[in-house]
Chains A and B, each alone.
Chain A
Amino acid sequence: MANRVVITGMGWVTPLGHDIEQVWQRLLRAESGIAPITLFDARTFPTTFAAEVKDYQLPAALRQSGMHQEISRATGFALAAATQAWEQAGLPAPRTPGHARLDPYSIGMYLGSGEGSLDFGTFTEVTLGAWDQSAGTVATGSWAKSAMRRFNAMREIEQEPCMPLTHLSLEFNARGPAMNCLTACAASTQALGEATQIIRRGDAEIMISGGAHSMIHPFGVTGFNRLTALSTMNDDPRRSCRPFDATRAGFVLGEGAGILILESLEHAVRRNATILAEIVGYGSSADAYRVTDQHPEGRGAVVAIEEALRDAALSVDDIDYINAHGTGTKENDSTETLAIKHVFGPRAKSVPISSIKSMMGHLIAAAGAVEAITCVLAIRDQVLPPTANYCVPDPECDLDYVPNEARKAKVNVAMSNSFGFGGQNDTLIVRRFAD
């Protein structure tokens, strides 16, 4: 019999703030974390705004530990979110005697974290300095000489997508199974699902799981602008992300981290932990369709949702709330709606669905983790966060998207969907904990 998996701690660093309660209240008030970009001068970019994490500093204890210098923005977010989650879980703080008594090999990690941002100034100067206009190539011989002088070794290697994992391993002395997956926008939902499997089969008792990412840098915004995936509503950033609305015209780049502490039920009970919710279902699939588009009928999304329901041994009638992927692009929201209708049948009309990306933007690899946390809070407080900026109904999106205002509701079971570029689909189901 597989171990049951419960959530005992949560933390996040988001464009709406850096602690669980404050951000949650702001989501319920439909506040927006979207504003003009300050991290670099984006005034002439097709998109000039994003959902940035503001006024952020790595917590003092982490700064002073001497272990986390030169870290990427994403790694900092992951460390801060994990510290909150660890504290909420009531686990002994790192560098205390209680912490030293934990079995490091029983603590694993599974993150869906993105790469760190490029050292933009150094990269562009070094590369332009070696540009041979007549040949149309970079003269790598001179590039190398200047690069070897100017790049910082640690700053460079910290961009590896596994570095948040390495820093969490250091900070919490977590020596159990450690993985990072980078499946685009589905990454941290997938990480939570696979972390659940690791505890179920007994390979770890505690998993630190979730994700962290920041793509709000010149080449990140460039990449998404070239794909014409971003909203370009530069005159009204707060209304720029309009999931399921007929006038939706792209997603908004966000950044941040969400980290959850998962535990085997037995371990949580043995140490008298407060259980926040249980992870009961996980489904994963690939569209195998196109790298640029989702399958038009949401074929892979349907499979992920169905597999998660089967894994949870629940029916569509048991689902009280769906936290949508809901990016605010034309394609995603109609395809996701189709997939939900396909699986839920007549029940689709009565399941409330909302997208918090309307308020905090799209945290890319970290999106699934903050959305899983949102599901747990919805279950705790019996209230659904709204889809902000929903004004004009779209005949292709004709379900209940909890428009603009939070709603009191009975929520025992919540589902979270995440779909990534390239056709990755992942669905997670969390349930109110009951013995």
Chain B
Amino acid sequence: MRRVVITGLGAVSPHGIRFSDLWQGLLAGRSSIAALAQFDPSGFPSQVAGTVPAFKTTDYVPKSYRKATKIMARDIELAVVAADGAVRDARLATRGIVEASGGSVPGPDWHAVDPRRVGCNIGAGLICADLNELCQAMAQAKNSDGTLSLARWGKSEDPSKTSGMDNLTPLWLLKYLPNMLACHVSIIHDTQGPSNTITCEQASAGLALAEACRTIQRGQADVALVGGCESMIHPMGLMRWSLLGRVNNTANPAGACRPYDRRAAGTVVAEGGAVLVIEELEHAQKRNAHIYCEIAGLAAASSGRKLGEPDPTGESAAFAIAKAMRDAGITSAEVQAIVPPGSSVPTYDQSDVAAISRVFGKAAEVVLAPARGGVGDCSAGSQAIDLAAAAMALHEQKLWPAADSDQPLADVRMLATQQPMSLQNVLVFASSLAGQHSAVMLRKWQ
């Protein structure tokens, strides 16, 4: 079977707009969670967020594509920036990269690829419409009792005036389709191979990576851009997670997100994600690509339970973890670290620990390195961040700490400071709020 390796990393996270920012933030055990500033959060019980520092999307697309940035929701912008980082890191001279460097391949170590052999599989979530944009149109069709007049939304009574809906840009819908993350990325980088958009919340990125990896194993592509991005920093997103009781109701960013800690009191809304370049081994070797690690095992499962009620026994997640190990041909003793989905939501954290304990005996037999403590939960982007960070950990043989989780749950072992570690196999698993699991085993490249 064709082997698949990771050759490019791009991440956009509250730690910064480059993968190196994420990596340095993780190693330092820094928290980039801060007061929520995108909108006035005063009416919400939770007022902190993991916000990506300012950037201009137009800096990350070729000139000919700048106009298209006007129809990108925040989630799409994040994916475009993350993909740019991944493709550059992998030294792939895609259409967008060549155009941005004046029509030529940027350097001798850059390589063109056959667009038909490149896939794109980027997980996404339910993208919320911008409230101001939508409401300025709705306000044109407001009834005196405060409701929306559907009649005037459809057509103005005064023929010289526009209807409510006419105040929306004609391409309004296209800003908010989840598949637009992959579509814009596929257009910018001219990836014409299999493309997909998996929408399974926190499990999306691992499922996307797995599917693209199978495509390469089968021989239908040689390279794929994979990952996920999402922004939960939206009044609708915060409202939904607040009503579910999923977020930490605090205005104090310090220690707001403590995965697997006894003081965990909910998660923090965040934005971000990552895109990885995955590549068939010989294809990567032929072009002398830098290899971070190998994708050794893949599995998925579903909990069969209601949303919001994770399995306290961790059975279905454990099934996925064990299957990913079998797929990689290894036993639990050969796994040195796990990047788990811990979001600091106690019931979910406990379910994760139960799943790990089922497979590893005691969870404490293996080091857990949750990545969300300092950045928060960006839903479909979360596991992409986990995967990119795990790939770098295998490459640098170094693991990051869970700085704010210094009172771990029973049987959980996490690092207090970054540590060099001999890492052969690192497991990245995630469970969505709605019960889907994805498990990816990454192996040191040698």
Contacts and interface: CB of A to CB of B under 8 A. Distances in A.
A43 B184 contact: no
Query: Interface size class for chain B?
Result: 35 or more
Nearest to A139: B40
Contacts of A297: none
B242 interface: yes
Contacts of B39: 140
A285 B303 contact: no
A225 interface: yes
B147 A128 contact: yes
Interface stretch (B186-194, B258-266, B368-376): B186-194
Given A42-B150, A138-B131, A228-B170, A288 B43 contact: no
B198 A180 contact: yes
A222 B165 contact: yes
A128 B138 CA distance: 7
Contact of B126 (A151, A161, A169): A161
Nearest to B157: A44
Interface string A168-180: 0110011111111
Contacts of B343: none
Contacts of A287: 186, 192
A153 to B, nearest CB: 4
Given A178-B200, A284-B195, A142 B146 contact: no
B183 A286 contact: yes
Given A127-B135, A141-B40, A227-B171, A183 B196 contact: yes
A92 interface: no
Contacts, number: 289
Interface in B143-166: 146-148, 150-155, 163, 165
A428 interface: no
Interface in A1-60: 40-46
Residue from A173, A181, A424 having most chain B Cβ neighbours under 10 A: A181
A108 B173 CA distance: 32
B112 interface: no
A144 B146 contact: no
Contact of B211 (A133, A161, A179): A179
Given A169-B303, A179-B200, A423 B183 contact: yes
A156 B162 CA distance: 31
B192 A303 contact: yes
A125 B149 CA distance: 11
B124 A182 contact: yes
B312 interface: no
A143 B238 CA distance: 12
Contact of B177 (A104, A180, A203, A422): A422
Interface string B207-249: 1000100100010100000000000000100111011100000
Given A147-B235, A224-B173, A178 B300 contact: yes
Interface in A186-224: 190, 194, 197, 201, 203, 218-219, 222-224
Contacts of B151: 41, 43-44
The secondary structure that dominates the B interface is: mixed
A290 interface: yes
A306 to B, nearest CB: 11
Given A148-B239, A179-B207, A182-B197, A288 B191 contact: yes
A409 interface: no
A129 B144 CA distance: 11
Given A136-B132, A285-B194, A159 B126 contact: yes
A272 interface: no
Contacts of B407: none
Nearest to B167: A226
A424 B235 contact: no
Given A226-B169, A288-B187, A424-B179, A44 B150 contact: yes
Contact of B304 (A138, A163, A170): A170
B307 interface: yes
A170 B139 contact: no
Interface in B302-317: 302-308, 316
A109 interface: yes
Contacts of A131: 135, 138-139, 142
A292 interface: yes
Contacts of A181: 196-199
B401 interface: no
Interface in A106-161: 108-109, 115, 121, 124-125, 127-129, 131, 133, 136-148, 151-154, 156-157, 159-161
A174 B302 contact: yes
Of A129, A131, A144, A292, the most chain B CB neighbours within 10 A belong to A144
Contacts of B191: 286, 288
A180 B153 CA distance: 33
B341 to A, nearest CB: 15
Contact of B152 (A44, A174, A175, A228): A44
Contacts of A284: 194-196
Given A286-B191, A291-B174, A291-B184, A128 B135 contact: yes
Given A129-B146, A181-B196, 14 more contacts: A41-B150, A45-B155, A125-B147, A131-B139, A131-B142, A157-B307, A173-B304, A177-B302, A178-B437, A181-B198, A285-B195, A286-B195, A422-B180, A422-B182
Interface of A: 40-46, 67, 104-105, 108-109, 115, 121, 124-125, 127-129, 131, 133, 136-148, 151-154, 156-157, 159-163, 165-166, 169-170, 173-184, 190, 194, 197, 201, 203, 218-219, 222-228, 284-292, 299-300, 303, 307, 420-424
Interface of B: 39-45, 68, 71, 115-116, 119-120, 124-126, 129, 131-132, 134-136, 138-139, 142, 146-148, 150-155, 163, 165, 168-174, 177-180, 182-184, 186-187, 189-201, 207, 211, 214, 218, 220, 235, 238-240, 242-244, 299-308, 316, 319, 432-437
19 contacts: A44-B151, A121-B147, A131-B135, A138-B135, A141-B41, A143-B43, A152-B243, A153-B240, A163-B434, A165-B302, A181-B196, A184-B177, A218-B153, A222-B153, A286-B120, A286-B193, A291-B71, A422-B174, A424-B183
- A-B interface, 8 closest residue pairs, ranked by CB to CB distance from nearest: A144-B43, A223-B173, A422-B183, A44-B154, A178-B302, A153-B243, A286-B195, A44-B155
